[in-house]
Amino acid sequence: MTDSTTAQTSLHVIVVGAGAAGISAARSLQDTGCRVTILEARDRIGGRVQTAYDLAPHPVELGAEYIHGANVVTWDMVRQFNLTTVSDVTKDDFHIYFGDRIHSGDDKSRIPSFHLVDTYEDIAIDWVEQGRPDASVHDVVTKWAELNNADLSPDLQRLVNSRVSAREGGDWARLGVHGMYEQNDNPGGNFRIKEGYTALLEQAVAGLNVTLNTPVQSILWSQDRVQIHSTTGQTFAADRVLVTLPLGVLQAQDVRFTPSLPPGKQAAINGLGAGHVDKIAMRFRERFWPQDMAGILTTLQSQIWWRPGWRRDDEAPLLMAIIGGDAALHFESLGADAVPEALDHLSAMFGENARKHFEAGRFISWGTDRWSKTGYSYGLVKGAGLRDQLAQPVDDILFFAGEATHVTHSGTVHGAIESGARAAHEILKPEKLKADI
Ligand SMILES: Cc1cc2nc3c(=O)[nH]c(=O)nc-3n(C[C@H](O)[C@H](O)[C@H](O)COP(=O)(O)OP(=O)(O)OC[C@H]3O[C@@H](n4cnc5c(N)ncnc54)[C@H](O)[C@@H]3O)c2cc1C
């Protein structure tokens, strides 16, 4: 008979990726006595969590921005690390750029069929609950508009799609309603971490063994051992490996598995959407947008703008665009012209030459970033059920975590954290059983 600690400390686990999922898993595994090594390609931890501390007097989020919801797992860490938060906008603080002019507050209700911006999700839920086959959000909303004589003008379509693609990751023409139905809401509002999201992960990673600048190139696995080769020429051996690679990186097959992943796993990788979601941060000498505007949803390809310093005493005159779906692909194709085009959008919206006030701009292209190749994952039409398939371990040797593996909270930091904890549990389960014999 062995006690559980002996059984667990004997395991050496390699975690690939030091994002929220990898850090959460490594923490759980190490706290239970496993030997854990995290291999990370970048020269920093955090992955798609990246706070800039050099753009403004306050932190600015280049990747994940909010804690979505008042009760998600991230709050445990916020409290544990004594971090502080700022609650974000209510709907009324958001303006709308539609029909070449800015609408605010009650004025929004004058936009024909504006309610679709908020109700597309309910329409999709109804569709699924009526037992209808999977279809794109675009097709379902269009059908609903036809049946209800709603005015779905091209401008309104652009507005709804701006909301859908920045929020869900995929363009509404590809986003499947069945996949969207799997996702749960996060009630209670959105919150920024005052010290920056990176501060949260920096504290969570303290005491863990992370090897930065070490891109994994190949994973050789058998039923009882794993060998990992990095592009830096190093070889690492372990009893188990936890893969937290972003979906875009898995789809690109940047890491070679030998033997290949089973067909069901590969089908899950290929069958989900690796959405492109990018950001453009702009700093100005002074504010030239309405004082009461927390953000603005637009019909333009820059989709949504908000104020990263909203409700902070030390707010700098900064605007951040968040752009998803085909609009993100458009900005990625512009390269160095992305920031100038975004400036033109601001000039058009606010009727003021934005260049006159401009100080610095940064395009953060997560969709083309070498180590993410996606902003976040989304469910394509007929993509429902694949997240669970992506999450399944292979031969109790290869384990999988990361936002794309979370069935109900994909595309979020809390989903990534929970997926890491789930995978750690799966890794330990057989050991626990052995120890109990
Ligand atoms: C623009 C944007 C805005 C967002 N806004 C929010 C938000 O407001 N709220 C929210 O909750 N979520 C938001 N998200 C989503 C959130 O950032 C992600 O869901 C979450 O951070 C994913 O964590 P992860 O650990 O699954 O993946 P990642 O953070 O991507 O971690 C994977 C790690 O693997 C590493 N890696 C890649 N290839 C290799 C390799 N070959 N070898 C070794 N390591 C490798 C990567 O460098 C990375 O560090 C946003 C994302 C984006 C892009």
12, 35 Cβ separation under 8 angstroms: yes
- Non-local (6+) Cβ contacts of 309 within 8 A are 56, 58, 315, 316, 318
At residue 109, the pLDDT reads: 83
Mutate to test the pocket of ligand 1, among 28, 365, 376, 410 (most ligand atoms within 8 A of CB): 376
Percentage of the residues of the chain whose pLDDT score is greater than 70:
96
Span 68-72, average pLDDT: 95
> Helix or strand or coil: residue 14?
strand
HEC string of 19-86? CHHHHHHHHHHHHCCCEEEEECCCCCCCCCCCEECCCCCCCEECCCCCEECCCCCHHHHHHHCCCCEE
Q: Is the pLDDT of residue 436 over 80?
A: no
| Least confident stretch, 204-208, 221-225, 252-256, 377-381 | 221-225
User: How far away, in angstroms, is 48 Cα from ligand 1 center?
Assistant: 3
User: How far away, in angstroms, is 402 Cα from ligand 1 center?
Assistant: 8
At residue 4, the pLDDT reads: 42
The residues spanned by each domain of the chain are 4-48+196-273+378-436, 90-185+277-364
Mean pLDDT across the chain: 94
Q: pTM for this structure?
A: 0.96
> Helix or strand or coil: residue 309?
coil
Closest by Cα among 226, 257, 219 to 240: 226
40 lines ligand 1 (CB under 6 A): yes
255 lines ligand 1 (CB under 6 A): yes
Which option is the CATH number for 90-185+277-364: 3.20.20.70, 3.90.660.10, 3.90.1150.10, 3.40.50.10470? Answer: 3.90.660.10
- Non-local (6+) Cβ contacts of 156 within 8 A are 98, 111, 112, 113, 114, 116
59 lines ligand 1 (CB under 6 A): no
CA distance 307 to 133: 39
Q: How confident is the model at residue 224 (pLDDT cuts 50, 70, 90)?
A: confident
Closest by Cα among 286, 327, 283 to 303: 327
Output the DSSP codes for 202-254.
HHHHTTS-EE-S--EEEEEE-SS-EEEEETTS-EEEESEEEE---HHHHHTT-
pLDDT 10s digits, 90-112: 767 899 999 999 998 778 888 99
Q: How far is CA 211 from CA 67, 88, 199, 207, 408, in A?
A: 27, 35, 19, 12, 31
| Least confident stretch, 183-187, 290-294, 338-342 | 183-187
Q: Give the position of tokens 């492109």.
A: 276
CA distance 85 to 59: 12
| Least confident stretch, 59-73, 74-88, 239-253, 423-437 | 423-437
User: How far away, in angstroms, is 362 Cα from ligand 1 center?
Assistant: 19
Question: CATH homologous superfamily for 4-48+196-273+378-436?
Answer: FAD/NAD(P)-binding domain (3.50.50.60)
Distance of alpha carbon 28 from the chain centroid? 22
Protein residue with least CA distance to atom 12, ligand 1: 412
CA distance 132 to 117: 22
282, 319 Cβ separation under 8 angstroms: yes
Closest by Cα among 435, 383, 376 to 33: 435
